[in-house]
Amino acid sequence: MAKSLTDKIIEEHLVEATDTEYALRIDQTLTQDATGTMAYLEFEAIGLDRVKTEVSVSYVDHNTLQTGFENADDHRFLQDVAARYGVFFSRPGNGICHQVHLERFGAPGKTLLGSDSHTPTGGGIGMLAIGAGGLDVAAAMAGMPFNIPKPKVVSIVLKSSLQPWVSAKDVILEILRRLTVKGGVGRIFEYSGPGVRSLSVPERATITNMGAELGATTSIFPSDEVTLAFLKAQGREKVFRPLAADKGARYDEIIEIDLGQLEPLAACPHSPDQVVSVRELSGRKVDQVLIGSCTNSSLKDLLMVAAVLKGKKVHPDTSLAIAPGSRQVLEMLSDDGSLKDIIAAGARILETACGPCIGMGQAPGTGGVSVRTFNRNFHGRSGTASAEVYLASPEVAVACALKGSFIDPRELGASPRVSIPDSFLIDDSMIIKPAAEPHPVEVRRGPNILPLPKRGPMEDTLTLTVLLKLSDNITTDDIMPAGSKILPLRSNIEAISRYVFSGIDPDFSEHAKAAGPGCILAGENYGQGSSREHAALAPMHLGIKAVFARSFARIHRSNLINFGILPIVIDNADYSSLAQGATITVKNIHKALSGASALEVFSVSTGTKLGCSLTLSGRESELMREGGLLNYLHKKVRG
């Protein structure tokens, strides 16, 4: 039987399959510092001496802005635990995890699990790369399989090739325009067709990176001669293997995109799927342009930007800042003179880190218009609540920086021709290798690194106050904001929990603690966005026992289960009728988890039975009975 590329990699890594789930062996893991400290605290709590994966890498790329001791202490902790448990450590300044992993560790056909929602970037090199919460990554490092709901596999067939000034960013924006931020939930997107050959690995990685904005489990490209050329340039051709779907492979859905018909696009505030042509925005004043992030900071991206800027000046009313994705990219820009062209044009050079994409600096001015090559433009994520953030390609962004307003880059004339070298600068001196064998290492912990809060076993009956009623597409930024003020508290759950839902209700944490056991009521696609498990862990600390939603984003639903919070689907009619402040009783939880009978949910004020369902796999039910994954793993590993 002809197989898809997705099916082939899943079969190679399949540990167990049920009617609803695949359990997959994980070859590689990655963490970053915003999620990594918690992941390694969780790994410590499991109680093993050494990671059991082929490769695990700890990156420092998110919280490099050191305005206090917290981030520096966490970086030291991460370096110590990497040495202690057999993990590669990519030092601050070495680059963004997804860019560096693509360059130095990614391998076709491997499985990669990362505590960052944009881990599917690895699909650009033919990996089955999936984002997850830190606890799931800790479990994978402990040798446990990773479970995913059986996905639908969607074939996206690319035809022809991109026109000048149109880029890979426009491909994924077009898909977001068609499918929306909910369009990928429960799906894996597999790219094929004659247009694939025209896309470099970094271009493919841009597309798979922003598959996360679709809510997809992951996205993947075949491994072909383009992949081999990229790996040769990185001195890693030994890990190459050709991989593609069989001719005649069957898919759950097929989407066709003619690359030659695409034009420059932009996502308008405040969602990546609010996509229009740049022509429609022409003339709108732009205050700030930022180029970089894990989506568009490759050498190819920045060589193009440098070529456009050469001999020109940034508009006097517009700020341009650029963050290369890795030290490799920065050094190569410097060596060939492109960095000089960028600086001479008036651009500001930022650290090789996530920086403003995660809210670390470069917040726009009041009411400012910011054009960014990033992957998310959620309200307030930039650090300025009144800002209007647009997402666009490097081609569009640099054109806006020169003009001072939105402009279709095709108006600039002939597109510059960018030549990518056959070999890249290789210097892994900022990646610290683990010792061959475990050895005693003193793990230094700053005062902000505190033990994990714990939840006991699941109760049989819960009486809960509806603490917030929310709309559709609530993001993890809404639940647990990021930014330079809050992210340094990520190793201190009590401290960071004070900011849960703070952008919606500044007093939420105090209300939650005063109310006792509580719940959240939400619409469709609750928890879209980041993989940050703090959006489940901090609410658990505040006494949140359940979330009632019309539907859930995949990673956040898993994180809720991992920390013993019931993800209950509620009917639309009952969602509409319930108000914030209502009291709900949840009964028969133990029997519902065992499959003996259905969950019973009532409105206390009316006595009405609510239309609710708790759909869990057998494994998920076992986790919920124990009060979460950490309790389960601790019991399993230590007996």
Distance from C-alpha of 608 to C-alpha of 604, rounded to nearest angstrom: 8
Rounded CA-CA distance 88/76 in Å is 14
Q: How does strand 88-90 pair with strand 55-59?
A: parallel
Helices (H), 388-442: 394-403
Of 7, 73, 74, 116, which residue is the catalytic one? 116
Q: Which helix (H) or strand (E) holds 100?
A: helix 97-104
Q: What is the pTM of this model?
A: 0.95
530 is a catalytic site residue: yes
- Provide the edge-to-edge strand list for the sheet that holds 146-149: 14-17, 21-24, 146-149
Q: In terms of Cα–Cα distance, which of 176, 160, 168, 381 is closest to 276? A: 176
The answer to whether 116 is a known catalytic residue is yes
The amino acid occupying position 178 is R
Determine the Cα–Cα distance for residues 484 and 67; give it in Å rounded to an integer: 8
Q: Among the options 497, 530, 531, 603, which is catalytic?
A: 530
Q: State residue 639's pLDDT score.
A: 52
Residue 531 confidence (pLDDT): 87
How far is the C-alpha of 639 from the C-alpha of 625, rounded, in Å? Answer: 17
Catalytic residue among 315, 532, 534, 556: 532
Q: Is 49 part of the annotated catalytic residue set? A: no
254 burial class (0-12, 13-18, 19+ CB within 10 angstroms)?
Answer: exposed
Catalytic residue among 27, 33, 61, 478: 61
How many CA atoms lie less than 13 Å away from 489 in the CB half-sphere?
Answer: 17
Condensed to tens digits (0 to 9), the pLDDT of residues 352-370 reads 999 899 888 899 999 999 9
* Structure-block tokens of residue 593: 């988890």
User: What residues contact 130, with CB distance under 8 A and at least 6 apart?
Assistant: 111, 112, 113, 114, 119, 120, 146, 148, 217, 218
DSSP SS3 for 639: coil
> Residue 408: what pLDDT?
98
Q: How far apart are CA 376 and CA 595, in angstroms?
A: 39
Instruction: Give the mean pLDDT per block of 10 residues along the chain (639 residues).
Output: 96 96 97 93 90 97 88 94 96 97 98 96 98 95 95 98 98 98 96 97 98 97 98 98 97 98 98 97 98 96 98 98 97 96 98 90 95 94 94 98 98 92 96 82 90 90 97 95 87 95 96 95 95 94 97 95 96 95 96 90 92 94 92 71
- DSSP code per residue over 291-359: E-TTTS-SHHHHHHHHHHHTT----TT-EEEE--SBHHHHHHHHHTTHHHHHHHTTPEEPPSS-GGGGT
What domains can be seen in the chain, in order of their start residue? 5-261 (3.30.499.10), 265-411 (3.30.499.10), 462-638 (3.20.19.10)
Residue 110 structure tokens: 């491997």
Task: Give the separation between CA 467 and CA 488, rounded to whole angstroms.
Answer: 26
> DSSP characters for 68-85?
SHHHHHHHHHHHHHHHHH
* Other residues' Cβ atoms within 10 Å of the Cβ of residue 581: 12
Terminal Cα distance for the chain, rounded: 43
pLDDT tens per residue, range 488-507:
899 999 999 999 999 999 99
- C-alpha–C-alpha distance, residues 68 and 492, integer Å: 14
d(C-alpha 350, C-alpha 330), whole Å: 10
Task: Indicate if 61 belongs to the active site.
Answer: yes
> What count of residues does the chain have?
639
The 3-state DSSP class for residue 44 equals helix
Phi, psi of 89 (to 5 degrees): -125, 115
